[in-house]
Structure 1
Amino acid sequence: MAVTTTTHLNFRGDARAALEFYRGVFGGELTLVSYADAQNVQDPAAAEEIMWGQVRSADGFAVMAYDVPGSLPWEPGQNAFFVSVRGTSAEEITSYWKSLSDRATIVQDLAPAGWAPLYGMLRDRFGVVWVLDVVA
């Protein structure tokens, strides 16, 4: 079993440019998945915005980002990041989820998703948004 944490930055239409910039600074591999790529288009004007992206370098640098859909609130500095916990074991991620869920607000139930065996999002009792998933 292995778990990593990665800073997950939230943007409104700038995720692609930000991740390309960070790749230029830190090097590494850039991965981008648009809402259209994931077949999750809710607003045709935002189809090419980033649903999930990351830069990961061989020396350990990692950052994730996405474009917050227009239907959700977003203000820079207000909800500018998530803490992402990815694991290889459903049991381990479920255990973390159960503990973090104590007095938390569930944003998205921990359940299978089209891109991961398990995915969930919650705002813990301290106001920190956590995204937990099992690596596909």
Structure 2
Amino acid sequence: MCQFLCDPKLKISHLGVCRQVVPQCGAPCKASKDLNPICGSDGIVYKNLDNFKCQKSCDPDLTIMHAGPCLKSKKKQKCGDPCNANNDFQPICETNLKTNKNMDFFKCQKLYDIYLEILHKGVCKELH
């Protein structure tokens, strides 16, 4: 019953032995040809939920990160210098409670953390 806590969409089909065999890894999967991209936790964009489920049969730890393509940075770069960011000091407090130098630096940082948002303009206040 622990599975029900982990996956609230899980439902009991019937009591007794399962009649349908769960596809094994490498077995041909029936997947629709619809294009509804999903970003997997492995960084791969799956064409749709069916394709994702096929891969999940091989990788049970695979999860959906979000709908749409995975966001990848174009270059392996450190935020700050290589982002062509200006050096003006117009501080922005981010949701991680770190102060970034300006909007350009924030946008660069967001390439690496899609959940990062602006909390407010100005320097972040220390929490006491």
Report the TM range for the smaller structure's normalisation: under 0.3
Q: Max radius of gyration: which structure?
A: 2
Normalised to the residue count of structure 1, the TM-score between the two structures is 0.22
The structure that is strand-richer by fraction is 1
Normalised to the residue count of structure 2, the TM-score between the two structures is 0.23
Structure number with higher relative contact order (C-alpha < 8 Å, ≥ 6 residues apart):
1
